[in-house]
Chains A and B, each alone.
Chain A
Amino acid sequence: MQAHERITAAIAAATKSGRPALVPFITAGYPKPADFIYTLKAIAAVGDVVELGIPFSDPMADGMTIQRSSFEALRQGVSLKWIFDQLDSASGEIDAPLVMMSYLNPLLAFGYDKLADRALAAGVCGFIVPDLPFEESAELRAALEAKGLGLIQLVTPATPETRLQTLCDASRGFVYAVTITGITGGGAGLPADLAQYLDRVARLSSLPVCAGFGIRAREDVAAVGKHAAGAIVGSALVEVLERGDDPQPYLRSLIGQ
């Protein structure tokens, strides 16, 4: 099985057990770098796929919570290299497939070929790059696919139909359906026409669709779960960690466990 197929399989397993897949997001090394692997293991024990945020100096698609976590992790010295070293040290101890969410520049600076090698070795199965539109993605996609890693495409409510098809076809692992026209961490709730939008994406995609942005509570996961295979929970989980609370009860509560 190629690495990106592990992501799809993990989501399919949740579907088979009759619940939406849960994809928790954390900013790597936040709030404390020393707790990174401990926190990751705790989250991976509940989540079906785990999304790891790579901190960046200019998180232009992120709201206050993820900005704050990103700046603080950087201040404490977290880097992509450090994250890979940490993941290597925990190799074999984390079952859930990992997906890295990174802005493009840290990946460019790291070098695409080295990135793919180290990601594969560290149990990373795919990448989400919020400032890399499909048109600019050929080079990174090729480097990742050479190692069986997936580049996960985002689609949004603003994406026109023809483009939606292109993006669904290009995606690997799953299709990331952004729920709102906005940035992460929005507190305005999910849009009224979410169901139609998610159904539309699901119709065009042969991969499972996971919905993210603005998902905070059990009702959100349930609402999204009726029309998508999985729910991505970012800012709300980061806030739980920020408060020093145990993430497991929170994550379990989202899927009614």
Chain B
Amino acid sequence: MQVPASFEFERAESVGHALELLERYGPEARLVAGGHSLIPMMKLRLAQPDALIDINGLAELSHLAVAGDTLVIGALVRHAALLADPDVGRYFPIFHEAERVIADPVVRNRGTVGGSLCQADPSEDLSAAFAAVRADAVIAGPGGSRTVSIRDFHVGPYETVVEPGEILTELRVPIRPGAGSAYVKVERRVGDWPVAAAGAYLRLGPGGVIAEAGLGLTAVGAEHFTAPEAEAYLIGKEPGEAVLREAGRIAAESCEPQADQRGPVDYKRHLAGELTFRALSRAAARADGSQS
């Protein structure tokens, strides 16, 4: 039987209250959102926080809305809510395609967007999806709020720029006309973490050439979950098959996959290239309107 070590438990009534509690309990306190990464780690005693601060009651972190030309996603939005939202599907198919293959429907009822990003597992699907669309993360702390590009958010495995006394409050994703996105993952069995996965975001400009390219890669050791050389290569080109394949090749080169029970290095690198190509192809078809 797996039982966590003892800890104190507090329920936050507001973001301000949660910040106060974080300050009062110090760096050994942890926020708990869905708890679907933290509680398993506590059961295995890989994490032994002195105190847990429950943010599940905070409606102010559960908002999900289009505000002008920005999609705003509260940190406490559950995976299931992101997957069910029609605006998210319309503007960012990448999120629906990623969510459909994250864990299983029951886990998705509980796990949150913010918890996923803050967990910073090198195999987290949403980290790649948010990197591809160049989201901004809003972080609240004792001195007010700050905004960080998602590409500066993850500083290493299980490590983010969110300080012990801070809370991730929301993600902001710019909505631009003429854009398309997609997510493709290979898993060993339904509901499993990825062997490898790739997300792509493309915006086409005048003449159908690529004006903006975003790539997200997970579980393959891509720095900041992305592939900037492959993105730079795509700019100004027409999204034909040869170009997208070459972008996949460059992305695969830039990865540092590690061998584990999900597969050897060369297989994962192959997947990184092939999945990048497939995600780009679908994103391009969505950007030019030939696929929904």
Do chains A and B stick together as partners? no
- A interface residues, Cβ below 8 angstroms from B: none
